[in-house]
Amino acid sequence: MGERVTGHGRTDSTPKTVNRSFPLSPFTFFTYLRSPTKPRYNKRRSNQAEDSPMKILIVGGGGREHALAWTAARSKGVSQVLVAPGNAGTATEKGMKNVDIGAEDIDGLLELAKSEGVDLTIVGPEAPLAAGIVDRFAEAGLACFGPSAAAARLESSKAFAKDFMARHDIPTAGYKVVEDVAEGKAFVERLGLPVVLKADGLAAGKGVIIAEDMATVEDTLEDMLSGNAFGQAGSRVVIEEFLVGEEASFIVIADGDKVLPLASSQDHKRRDNEDRGPNTGGMGAYSPAPVVTEAVHERIMHDIIEPTLAGLKADGCPFTGFLYAGVMLTTDGPKVLEFNVRFGDPEAQPVLMRLKSDLVDVIGRTLKGELDRIELEWDERFALGVVMAAGGYPESYDKGHPIHGLDTDFPENVKVFHAGTSAAEDGPAVTNGGRVLCLTALGETIAKAQAQAYQWLAHIGFEGAFYRTDIGYRAIHRDQGSGIGPGPRT
């Protein structure tokens, strides 16, 4: 195996694992769909020279999608990036064009891809993946990067994911799936407090409650199971033991057979400083994560990623796309907190800010079965992103507030990724969601990246805006010698 390239340095602490091939017979996602004769690129593409300009479609309108579109637009073979529906950031970027089609309007997206001659579609959010967008595109002979609806159950049903992990001996927290308040309370009494309660279905990253007393357990179970909190997503609740340790985000590219790890990262789920307050979709992230040492990386690959992909294949739903494992690094080793079947948000922003390889080329080669021949190149600097959120988030919040400071002359190592924004007909962009922006900065150290992010974030604002002021604090403490373990891993 070749050495992973990480920019112009830091190769001494970089492991030499680039990817893994499972000792399993060749099998690709398109074989799973029983469409071996379908083109992996559109018919328009098959009639073009390999080096002719490509048109890319990014599905979604958040910060992750802005980062994906920004990265795709920089690919040398790309002529235009369509973003559906996009946001105020993608509306003004060179080489991008917003299309007013919702991320869950699969019929509309299919028609768009056909009429525009889209060569490759990359799906950002989880909902269209769970609804089968990749299956529909494959049936139409269109290249769409992501897992099938069957494989997407790893995220769309937490009960499915927990049962899958138990069946395939993948380390995770002890759990029980309940549909009744009394049954749930009885299990918590046996398990002991605190516990974690999760709505079974998709809840936009907010269907997780940490309960430290029985009153919270009972109230949460009643809210979720009644449908008041998360609708149908809460019709079943997963109750888990509370794991203690440090979290990390481990994201890979998979083709149903082989796997290529991306740079490590760490998210900050809780709303307030020092990881306090309610859970959110993520208030900031940085890459690389020093806690993911070479030894930790190897153990996550061996104990979690490889058996997960092998298990999905054995179960008849091989996984192609971005697979995200949120892990807790416990004293007993890494354990899975959750699976996402797409790039994390806000992890995508700092990770893609560091990626020097051509993302579109990487995905295209993955769909051609060439994942084992890809080496990724990374900027050796740290990247750190801070989310600016709307007042009231993750609960109710106002929309439509003008955002000032977006016209600031930011340096080349700083990028403002839009999330919950919309373009006003005249005047500045306005807020249109809970997580509004993610300002991401590169720095030679994690402390310098953090300092740059907060320095330039001060130039932006809107009514009710707030953000955590300690993103990256764990890595900084570790870098200053108060943590444990060797230096950062890419």
Q: Is 54 domain-assigned?
A: yes
Q: What are phi and psi of 261, to 5 degrees?
A: -70, 140
Residues 32 and 144 reside in one and the same domain: yes
Which of 226, 241, 256 corresponds to the end of one domain? 241
List the structure tokens of 53: 């300009």
94 and 28: one domain? yes
- Do 138 and 64 share a structural domain? yes
444-361-82 Cα angle (round to 5): 95
In a domain? residue 448: no
* Domain assignment of residue 470, yes or no: no
Same domain, yes or no, for 139 and 182?
A: no
The answer as to whether 427 is a domain residue is no
Residues 57, 113: one domain? yes
Nearest Cα neighbor of 337 from 204, 126, 172 is 172
Residues in the chain: 490
Please check whether residues 132 and 210 belong to one and the same domain: no
Whether 125 and 208 share a structural domain? no
**Do 112 and 28 belong to one domain?**
yes
For residue 202, what pLDDT is reported? 87
Q: Is 230 found in the same domain as 192?
A: yes
User: What pLDDT shows up at residue 438?
Assistant: 98
What is each CA distance from 371 to 17, 52, 89, 213, 262, in whole angstroms? Answer: 13, 22, 31, 48, 13
**Number of domains, the chain:** 2
Residue 79 lies in a domain: yes
| CATH code, 229 | 3.30.1490.20
Which range marks the domain in which residue 215 is found? 174-241
Picking from 219, 241, 263, the residue at the C-terminal end of a domain is 241
Cα–Cα separations (whole angstroms), residue 221 to 63, 172, 183, 230, 279: 31, 22, 10, 11, 17
Neighbours of 72 (CB within 10 A): 25
User: 267 in a domain, yes or no?
Assistant: no
Contact call for residues 245 and 226 (beta carbons, < 8 A): no
Residue 368: inside a domain: no
Provide the residue-wise pLDDT of the chain in tens; the chain has 490 residues.
332 322 223 333 333 333 443 333 223 333 333 333 333 445 444 444 456 789 999 999 999 999 999 999 999 999 999 999 999 999 999 999 999 999 999 999 999 999 999 999 999 999 999 999 999 999 999 999 999 999 999 999 999 999 999 999 999 999 999 999 999 999 999 999 999 999 998 876 668 999 999 999 999 999 999 876 777 767 899 999 999 999 999 999 999 999 999 999 999 999 999 999 998 999 999 999 999 999 999 999 999 999 999 999 999 999 999 999 999 999 999 999 999 999 999 999 999 999 999 999 999 999 999 999 999 999 999 999 999 999 999 999 999 999 999 999 999 999 999 999 999 878 889 999 999 999 999 999 999 999 999 999 999 999 999 999 999 999 999 877 644 333 345 6
Report the CATH number that the domain containing residue 129 is assigned in CATH. Answer: 3.40.50.20
Domain boundary among 113, 148, 183: 148
Task: Quickly count: other Cβ atoms within 10 Å of residue 275's Cβ.
Answer: 15
Write down the pTM of the prediction: 0.88
Same domain? 132 vs 58 = yes
Task: To the nearest 10°, report the CA torsion of 475, 477, 481, 482.
Answer: -120
Residue 80 covered by a domain: yes
